[in-house]
Chains A and B, each alone.
Chain A
Amino acid sequence: MAKTERNTQSSILAVFASLILPGLGQLLSKKRSRAVLVFITTIILTFLVNWSLVHQNIGKIQLGNWATSWLWLPLVLFWVWNILDAWALSAKKSINPLFGILVVSIILYVIAWNVTAVKFNRLIERFGDARIVATNLVNPDLITINEKGQDKICAWSCMYGFIGDKLAGHPVAGPIRVSDNLLQIIGSMKPMPVPRWLVSLGLATPGSNIKVFAAGSMIQTIAMGLLATLFSTILALPISFLAARNIMARLQGGAVIYYLARGFLNVVRAIDTIVWGLIVVVWVGLGPFAGVIALTIHSTAALGKLFSEEIEHIDTGPVEALTATGANLIQVIRYGIIPQIVPSFLSYSLLRWDINMRSATVIGFVAGGGIGFFVIENVRMGGYQQYAAALWAVVVVIILVDYISGKWRESILRDQVQKDDTKKQPLLSYLRLAFFIIMGLLAFIYCWNLSQISIRGLFSPGSNFGQLIKDFVMIDLTPSVLQPTIQQMIVTIFQAFLATTLGALFALPFSFLAAKNLTGRSRLSAWIYYLTRSMFNFLRSIEALLYVVLFIFWVGVGPFAGMLALAVTSFALIGKLFSESIENIETGPIEAVNATGANRLQMIVYAILPQITPPFISYLLYQWDINVRMATIIGFAGGGGIGLTLTTFFGSLQYHKAGTVVFFIVIVVALMDFASAKLRQSLV
């Protein structure tokens, strides 16, 4: 009797607590994380509903003279749900969180829909424009035909006709050749004055020309990606030791260095390569060199973090053993740590190579150089068929890089032990080593020249750079800066939110088609599997910034175009990750459900869905995190959001404002990173 009374009392207390402060009742029932979640959700929603009413008139309704937002209603419902939840928890029961999630979603999606200016009708109304772009895209400017003395682009249908005529022995419409556009992308043989060393060797006459391969923008992009990966690996190595807790613990004052290094890496990493590009351009001027520096800076921070985590997870046994022999710290690192970390470091560098190559395709948008610069120039002139050729080149190169990097990493991480050491031919292996070193050096020098690296340029910064550094650290929090920044930041976050949702919704059905263990053994299903997989890989190989250019033409400049671009990349990445996690499920439950005579749909619902829900949610959060980062830069190509604000400030040389925007980006990205990691941790 007394017990029930006490229960009733604590229930009433919990209800009151949550009525006054959402989450407080849950806290009384000792559900700390739930309480924090409810409390933070309420705060954020209150802010958002109020903000969107005041600044954007979202959800505005007029009640007589009194204007308010109907979005307060779902918020009140959430409040009610929170009270019910507190009551249930105090009675040691739990209620379905679905209702709470539902009302929260209503608020979020309504705001997201409005701030990203979603106009799906445009997708249909302006379908005509889209069709023109699409036609151009599938007919890239690769081949030129000379018809009656006039050069024309020879697209697929023309090629088909040409080959048909040729095979049938009919007269062809005209001679064909590789188009100038494709030559610009890949490169061509160009006459150059003979270098002096050839003359002095007596191999050429002075003043004559020889034909030299002049690399095109795609080759330049490859060179930029390679160099950035090399430089960032070299730079990240020493930093990673400073950012490894277990190494720094062995030094006096090491903890301070550790926190400084970690903080430095996190801040640098939060700023996207493209934003670094904007800064670097002021330093060394437009060109591939600026691109390499921007790529290197971001990649160094990303690798530094991965490397240092790897160092923290090494086997400590050998370290202990070496310390016991009287070795000093440098010797312990050299013999106890480096041999352990070589494979994982190599594999991370290869992964980064893949990422750097992708970034290198778009860094030219702001920094100049590479295929990105080529794209921007052509799109400005409306050359969509030229742009299409560049896209195809990007797809081919990135898919190739992705494949090589993946296979290579696989073989490194397998780390096979060679059992027989007897049959080694030292001379041959030395020759092979020498060959690789020479080839590597030659490639390095070639890339160096191609990327127009100039050490002198590094130390003679542009005239505005001093001012940029000085202004950048002055955080300007006056309303004229703060308001547009906060507004665009919210737009950016919601763009990412909506893009993740859209991408996931479309990816979900396709991911089942791209899972090898679910598609049956028939030839048709094998085809479906390969087609879906290829589609994911194809779409994934193109950066969001390159998609923005397309969607602008279709739905117009603005956050909607940016959101759609992010949705496409999300679709491809989520599809890939989902299908992989479907492939990794345990087969036991499937077997058991099948044994009961269940059909395919029942099998999916009862044996597969319960297994894949946690990894799926975790990937969604991960994708949202990525999308927020990406959304900060899609504005550079007209995709709206904070990137637009940033380019405006940069373009008008208002560096103190730009610095404030970057400051906000760092904070938001770091917060998202932290929140998404925490949530994912609690899921797994």
Chain B
Amino acid sequence: MLRVENLTKVYPNGTQALKNVSFEVKDGDFLAVIGLSGSGKSTLLRCINRLIEPTSGKIYWDDQDITSASSREMRKIRRQIGMVFQQFNLVKRSSVMTNVLTGRLGYVNTFSSALHLFSAADNNKALASLEQVGLADKPHVRADSLSGGQQQRVGIARALMQDPKLILADEPVASLDPVLSHSIMKYLEQLNKERGITVLCSLHFLDLVHRYATSAIALKDGELVFQGLPKQIDDTEFKAIYGQEAERVSIL
């Protein structure tokens, strides 16, 4: 279980990205995080694995306090939390296989990984992860020779290598053609349903939220303005989250 209590983040330039945000995510949930650009979604996800240091507040993961973990403990926690990024964040010049194997770095020792020595088990695991996302035939091509959708699937395979209990997905489909959105979301859904991995996913399109999420929270200017089931987001809620000017758009 993930519990966030009174999380606040103020950036050095004075921007208040999160204000007293508290919520809970049960194991096995698929939680959608919605809100306008700049509402604090990315900051929230990055505070959970402390890529961004929270200013105040607490985050508990299975009753362990993430916010007070030492850097060594933090690396142990991070390896259980996979992350999928809007811009995929692959090492473009490295092969697909190497990119996937990097998901294992938190588990292997520094010396052998510096020499690019991975165990046979890790190599097989990487191939299996690639197969899971339908890229079994591409391990040795360079990452930047793949299409955007394929690159994001490599990103998911990399997260799988961590044997994650939680996946943080930061706008995983926002840089892709809308028609490809479902293909990526389906992989995340599959991991959530079949392996019981908890997923926190920030999304733009309400359609996707209704279709995939089991629960949802909404942020507006850094504050939590909604918490509940996706179907509870009706027109009034929608206007409250996105503002009076907003109109619903849908994809497929």
B216 to chain A: closest CB distance in Å?
Answer: 23
Instruction: Give CA–CA (A323, B102) in the complex, Å.
Output: 10
A317:B78 contact, CB within 8 angstroms:
no
Given known contacts A321-B158, A335-B102, A339-B93, A328 and B110 CB-to-CB distance under 8 angstroms:
yes
Instruction: Report the stretch among B12-20, B79-87, B189-197, B231-239 that lies at the interface.
Output: B79-87
Instruction: Give CA–CA (A325, B78) in the complex, Å.
Output: 6
**CB-CB nearest in chain B for A319:** B89
Given known contacts A330-B114, A339-B94, A325 and B89 CB-to-CB distance under 8 angstroms:
no
Instruction: Report the stretch among A173-181, A207-215, A284-292, A415-423 that lies at the interface.
Output: A415-423
A327:B145 contact, CB within 8 angstroms:
no
Report the interface size class on chain A. Answer: 20 to 34
Instruction: Give CA–CA (A317, B87) in the complex, Å.
Output: 7
B51:A324 contact, CB within 8 angstroms:
yes
Instruction: Give CA–CA (A422, B36) in the complex, Å.
Output: 45
A314 to chain B: closest CB distance in Å?
Answer: 10
For A328, the chain B residues whose CB sits under 8 A away are: 75, 105, 110
For B155, the chain A residues whose CB sits under 8 A away are: 321
B91:A326 contact, CB within 8 angstroms:
no
For A342, the chain B residues whose CB sits under 8 A away are: 93
Residue of A325, A328, A340, A343 contacting most chain B CB atoms (<10 Å): A325
A327:B83 contact, CB within 8 angstroms:
no
A326:B75 contact, CB within 8 angstroms:
yes
CB of B142 closer than 8 Å to a CB of A: yes
B114:A334 contact, CB within 8 angstroms:
yes
Instruction: Give CA–CA (A682, B85) in the complex, Å.
Output: 37
A335:B91 contact, CB within 8 angstroms:
yes
For B102, the chain A residues whose CB sits under 8 A away are: 321-322, 325, 327, 331, 335-336
For B51, the chain A residues whose CB sits under 8 A away are: 320, 323-324
Q: How many residues of B contact A (CB 8 A)?
A: 42
Given known contacts A340-B91, A419-B145, A324 and B98 CB-to-CB distance under 8 angstroms:
no
B10 to chain A: closest CB distance in Å?
Answer: 19
**CB-CB nearest in chain A for B75:** A326
For B161, the chain A residues whose CB sits under 8 A away are: 325
**CB-CB nearest in chain A for B80:** A326
For B159, the chain A residues whose CB sits under 8 A away are: 325
For B78, the chain A residues whose CB sits under 8 A away are: 323-326
Chain B, range 131-172, C-beta contacts under 8 Å to A: 140-142, 144-145, 155, 158-159, 161-162, 168
**CB-CB nearest in chain B for A323:** B51
Instruction: Give CA–CA (A418, B142) in the complex, Å.
Output: 8
B106:A415 contact, CB within 8 angstroms:
no
CB of B90 closer than 8 Å to a CB of A: yes
Contact with B91, one of A324, A325, A339, A415 (Cβ below 8 angstroms): A339
CB of A318 closer than 8 Å to a CB of B: yes
**CB-CB nearest in chain B for A336:** B91
The number of A-B residue pairs with CB atoms under 8 Å apart is 99
For B158, the chain A residues whose CB sits under 8 A away are: 321, 325
Contact with B106, one of A317, A321, A326 (Cβ below 8 angstroms): A326
A411 to chain B: closest CB distance in Å?
Answer: 15
A321:B83 contact, CB within 8 angstroms:
yes
Instruction: Give CA–CA (A489, B92) in the complex, Å.
Output: 49
For B162, the chain A residues whose CB sits under 8 A away are: 325-326
For A327, the chain B residues whose CB sits under 8 A away are: 75, 102, 105-106
For A343, the chain B residues whose CB sits under 8 A away are: 93
Chain A, range 377-424, C-beta contacts under 8 Å to B: 415, 417-419, 421
B79:A326 contact, CB within 8 angstroms:
yes
Chain B, range 50-69, C-beta contacts under 8 Å to A: 51
A326:B105 contact, CB within 8 angstroms:
yes
Chain B, range 90-135, C-beta contacts under 8 Å to A: 90-94, 98, 102-107, 110, 113-114
**CB-CB nearest in chain B for A333:** B114
For A339, the chain B residues whose CB sits under 8 A away are: 91, 93-94, 98
For B168, the chain A residues whose CB sits under 8 A away are: 324
For A326, the chain B residues whose CB sits under 8 A away are: 74-80, 105-107, 162
For B107, the chain A residues whose CB sits under 8 A away are: 326
Instruction: Give CA–CA (A206, B245) in the complex, Å.
Output: 98
Instruction: Give CA–CA (A30, B20) in the complex, Å.
Output: 43
A334:B93 contact, CB within 8 angstroms:
no
A155 to chain B: closest CB distance in Å?
Answer: 54
For B103, the chain A residues whose CB sits under 8 A away are: 325
A45 to chain B: closest CB distance in Å?
Answer: 42
Task: List 13 contacting pairs A-B, 8 Å CB cutoff, sorted by A.
Answer: A317-B88, A320-B85, A321-B90, A325-B102, A325-B158, A326-B77, A326-B80, A327-B75, A331-B110, A331-B114, A335-B98, A340-B93, A415-B93
Residues of A at the B interface (CB closer than 8 Å) are: 315, 317-318, 320-328, 330-331, 334-336, 339-340, 342-343, 415, 417-419, 421
